[in-house]
Amino acid sequence: MKKLIATLVLTAVMFVGCMAADPATKEGAQEIATKWVEDNAPTYMFDGSDLERTKIFPLSCENCFKFEFNFTSKYPGFGDRSGEELEAEDTYHTIGVYIENGEVTEAVTDAEYDEINKI
């Protein structure tokens, strides 16, 4: 029984390891960038939808990429607009996300709003 449990645990660990994004690949870096926007970008998190990658730019450093995504917001503006008086108006945004060795180093919406520093 212990051997069976150990085998199952090892198989599960190997499966999860295979599922993790490899930041050295374009696909892995894109997965990291997409997840970051969905979980961390204040503008997208507030009222964004329809996130779609539109461009990939390899950068000069190894394991570095820039991804551009488009998305729609229900209201104009940037960041968390809670408490603001908002008038509904579909607003289209482009966010550039820079990945370096699997880490998001920069994320800017419409070449104007720094999503990481919220400025």
pLDDT of 80 over the 80 cut: yes
Instruction: Write out the two tokens for 59.
Output: 């950068």
What's the whole-model pTM score? 0.80
Proportion of the chain above pLDDT 70, given as a percent = 83
Q: How does DSSP classify residue 28?
A: H
* Mean pLDDT to the nearest integer, 71-82: 97
What residue ranges do the domains of the chain occupy? 23-114
Write the pLDDT tens digit of every residue in 4-57.
554 444 444 444 444 467 877 999 999 999 999 999 999 999 999 999 999 999
Q: Are 93 and 48 in contact (CB under 8 A)?
A: yes
Handedness of CA 72, 78, 79, 83 (dihedral sign): negative
Residue 53's closest CA among 29, 71, 26, 78?
A: 71
